[in-house]
Amino acid sequence: MFDSVTVKNFMRISADVKIPLGPVTILVGENGSGKSSILRAIHWAIRCAVLRDGADRVTLERMDYAPSRDFLHLAHKVRLNSEGASPKVRVVLESGTDKLEINMHSTRNDAGIKALVSGSLSSTVTATSQLTAYIPGLAGLSEAESLLATPVLHRRAASGEGGSVLRHILLGLASSATGRETIEKHEELSELSRWVGKVFPGVRFWVKFDRLRDVNIDAKFLTNDMAQSGKKLELQWRSLDMAGTGFLQVVQIFAYLLHFKPRLLLIDEPDSHLHPGTQERLISAIEEAAKEFPETQFMLATHSPSLVRASSATSKVLWMSDGAVQSKSEDQVRQRMGWGALDKDLMLITEDGNLQFMKNILAQWPDLARKVLLWPTFGAGSLPRGSALARTRKELGIAVAVHRDRDFLSDTDKVALIKKMEYDTHKIPFWMPAGSDIEAGFCSPEHLEKVFEIDRSDAIALLEEAVALVDADAAETDFNTAYQSAIGGLSKDEVSVPSKRWRELAGPCAATIKGKILLTKVEEAAKKRYIGTTDATKLRGLKLLSNPAAPMHGDLKALLEQAILTQKQRS
């Protein structure tokens, strides 16, 4: 068992970050905190170490996992190169006094990576080593899987392409259990059913592939909800590609565990697409697996308070922020991930991890603010669905509302998102700011006019100067990424496409730039305009920039007040 892992100079990680490891290690923190960087660095380093040639080199084409094809820019704010003194990506796994150290820099022609392996555990890195398996989460299952050669299968599995090889993994489980390569009739996967059944009770799985007759691997599943008494199995089970994304993610976790039995199973945001109650059963099952498979350690990155609250002493919970582990006790971390709703009338679920701007907005209405409990989910992807929030509202007897940044969605897009998240059917109050995010409100001419004590025309000019400081290409890339992510999972018939939406908003302009970015450019523009001038005193407004100086987001106030009133009437 590994005692710790250290990562240095990779994506969000700058200086050495040492993560103490337990049977289960849970990394929590907001988006961009470095959680996923840790998982990716470990898997990339291990796979490069395994695949390196006799000269310690591995080309991009040979890499079966790379966080980006632009791998030379995976180091923290520097470009990897071959010079001896240049910063290297460093990953160190320690077990007692033994360690495995991997240092990575580019080859001389920048065509690949040179992975230098050292330490007393170097001998564990072989061509057949299964030190890590990485699960970034499934976007869905491929419609069909024809048989792949073992090297191709392992390459895709190592790369995180679970959606294209999951049936292969299931076929491998059946072959291992029966000792047969050909599975002529549907073979039940009892062990997989047992483990996934701890999360989805009663579920069963089968797989079939006759090498002489079948073109594609056939995988079936059956849940308690699907079961019908007195009917043949063939009339009850369904093809695995009909299962939901959250369900498939759980299947992938335990299928990879049973098939690969890795030393480290790295799981990124397993809570995505899962109901909070299901998240609780998942962490319980993972902790149980850690005891039954003591040679495998589990490392999770999550935003989920439900998952953290349900974890036991088997799990080590660590808080990450700004690419470093925070010096907080586990009890403090667990408490921060929970909520205290005893004296509150409303729970406002917000996607933001940084609550300061929302707190400043609520501070406009002190009496209302005291009634509101802010619950951050650290990302829009972790916002609960309407059915889950309706149960929370009923069980706690408290009003609930949801904030999600607009991310450039149109009102039509917003309606489609509300429908997808079931907020309409469960009558969950849902608020999106008019701008790209809540910070955009602090960039409005009305706000800048008050903060800097200038007239409206000067405020508009200052905003235009801030927009001019934004890299137009980067802004369009951010726009496309944010919009595409926001409409993910929505019907193409119900939403627009990034290029069309960009034109509708007349980008590049204030409406197509994230408020978080634009606000920093407003500060920069104000300094350029006033430093060294007779109006330098106006820079005092910089200290007031993140506090509403003019009435802001009044529609949020009306929504929260109505939600509280409705809940009182409901009670």
pLDDT tens by residue, 200-227: 999 999 999 988 888 888 999 999 988 8
Checking if the pLDDT of 88 tops 70, the result is: yes
- Tokens at 218, concatenated: 């056939």
Over residues 174-192, mean pLDDT: 90
> How far apart are the C-alpha atoms of 569 and 571, rounded to whole Å?
5
Q: In whole angstroms, how far apart are CA 276 and each of 183, 298, 308, 383, 493?
A: 37, 20, 11, 11, 30
Q: Percent of the chain having pLDDT more than 70?
A: 93
Amino acid identity of residue 519, one-letter, is: L
Over residues 417-437, mean pLDDT: 95
Checking if the pLDDT of 387 tops 90, the result is: yes
Helix (H/G/I), strand (E/B), else coil: 168:
helix
Q: Which pLDDT value is given to residue 536?
A: 93
Q: Which domains are assigned to the chain?
A: 4-131+262-336 (3.40.50.300), 159-248 (no CATH)
Checking if the pLDDT of 195 tops 70, the result is: yes
Q: 340 pLDDT band (50/70/90 cuts)? A: very low
φ/ψ of residue 220, rounded to 5 = -125, 155
Q: Which pLDDT value is given to residue 338?
A: 61
Q: Which pLDDT value is given to residue 303?
A: 83
> How far apart are the C-alpha atoms of 131 and 260, rounded to whole Å?
9
For residue 117, the surrounding DSSP H or E stretch is strand 112-118
Over residues 467-493, mean pLDDT: 87
Q: Tell me the pLDDT tens digit for each residue of 119-159.
A: 999 999 998 888 999 998 655 566 666 666 666 766 677 66
Q: Estimate the crossing angle of helix 162-178 against helix 245-260, to 10 degrees.
A: 50
Q: Mean pLDDT lowest for which of 250-254, 415-419, 477-481, 524-528?
A: 477-481
Q: Tell me the pLDDT tens digit for each residue of 441-455.
A: 999 999 999 999 999
Over residues 460-482, mean pLDDT: 92
